Amino acid sequence: MSNPDVIVVGAGLSGLACARALVQSRLKVMLLEAEAKPGGRVRTDVHEGFLLDRGFQVYLTAYPEGQRILDVEALKLHCFMPGAKVWRGGRLHTVVDPLRQPVTALAHLFGSVGTFWDKLRVLELRQLARSGEEVDVWLRPQRTSRRYLEELGFTEEMVEGFLRPFLAGVFLDRSLMTSSRFLEFVFRMFSSGDAGVPEQGMGAIPEQLAAKLPPGCLRGHAPVAEVWGHRARLADGEMVGAQAVVVAADPPAAARLLPGMPVPMMNAVTCLYFAAPAPPVEGPWLVLNGEGRGVVNNVAMMSEVSPAYAPRGQSLVSVSVLGVSSDGEALRARVCEELKEWFGAGVAEWRHLRTYSLPFALPAQTVEALEPPHRPVRLSPGLYVCGDHRDSASIHGALGSGRRAAEAVLTDLGLYS
């Protein structure tokens, strides 16, 4: 493509959303991506017939930006149960959304994960999170999630046995220093829709967005070395100019390309994948570590959610450990030992497929990070930035920040009002 109107650097979800909005306004866009395929942190690798998402991820159908830009029906979502299995006290307990699974919830009403009053407080939290409009959540007074849960009156048993491991799996923050605004947003999304994965893996989401771009718009294997003014210099020395440049790279890469822009604090996670002859838990369940000890935070039987995740006759198990380790072999051994306690000696038959160590998995959503809740996308006339570090650390935030950047470009070019 010659003489683009806009250069977008990075074909993650925010860059794809930005490019799509600009193309819809009849601008010529050059979307430069360092990797071979689009997606950024939302990618799916095919390994020995298994679909391995780059870290355990889910799509929430209640995301407003997703409803705006994605053809969710075409993704063929397969959904998790609205609840979780919790390993606590030497056995698995079932915790479900009482409004969506009333029969199951009644059967486990007096289970050992939390008290009866804790379960009523979950309903109160759900009601608070769903009150008002989605935009109102980001304007409410902030405190840490830990403080917020204490104020609602949850017992220590409920926090440690269910809420901490569940939220830690979303926030990648076991300390629960994450802002109460983000907690309410997460509860609003989970309670207003389903959590699932596309039939062919999370990578189907960026693939769908990329497929809607015109031929020649997306250039893979095109890492950008430098951005200044309205120009970008590729790693191979090629220079490209345009009326505007949008940096949609991941936070560390964006900071390298935009001197003076600080790298946000990032939360880390390690995801280990195993092939198993049979699922340790039947059904599309998320399994949480409610013991408060050990390295495993959560386990998901991905092939029980979408059978396409594993070859016929095999099961795919995803294990999430918060943080990263310098000794992958030792971590793998420790994970397997812990899970033998959960699921029995059959864990010894599991075969390790791949480990994803993700030090920059998600921007931390601290009280300071979410003030203001939506960070500026316009850096100067002709230079813009987008990504989940400019919004909420979610697929919703990535897509929304890409849309906001496109609107800023169109406004400055006199094409949006």
User: Would you list the DSSP string of 9-70?
Assistant: E--BHHHHHHHHHHHHTT--EEEE-SSSSSBTTS-EEEETTEEEESS---EETT-HHHHHH-
**CB-based burial of residue 51 (10 Å sphere; 0-12 exposed, 13-18 middle, 19+ buried)?**
buried
State how far the alpha carbon of 382 is from the alpha carbons of 36, 226, 246, in Å.
27, 15, 8
CB 199 within 8 A of CB 51: no
Neighbours of 223 (CB within 10 A): 16
Which residue bears the tokens 């999304």? 189
Can you give the length of the chain in residues? 417
Q: Which are the contacts of 297, defined by CB distance < 8 A and separation ≥ 6?
A: 165, 168, 169, 174, 288, 289, 320, 321, 322
Read off φ and ψ for residue 254, nearest 5 degrees.
Answer: -65, -40
Own/partner long-range contacts of 94-102 (Cβ < 8 Å, ≥24 apart): 95/162, 97/191, 98/122, 98/123, 99/123, 99/126, 99/191
Residue 34 marked as a ligand binder: yes
Residue 307 sits at the vertex; the CA angle it makes with 82 and 42, to the nearest 5 degrees, is 70
Distance, in Å, from the CA atom of 232 to the CA atom of 30, rounded to the nearest integer, reads: 11
Neighbours of 119 (CB within 10 A): 18
Residue 33 marked as a ligand binder: yes
Residue 366 sits at the vertex; the CA angle it makes with 363 and 369, to the nearest 5 degrees, is 70
User: Which residues contribute to the annotated binding site for FAD?
Assistant: 14, 33-34
User: Which residues contribute to the annotated binding site?
Assistant: 14, 33-34
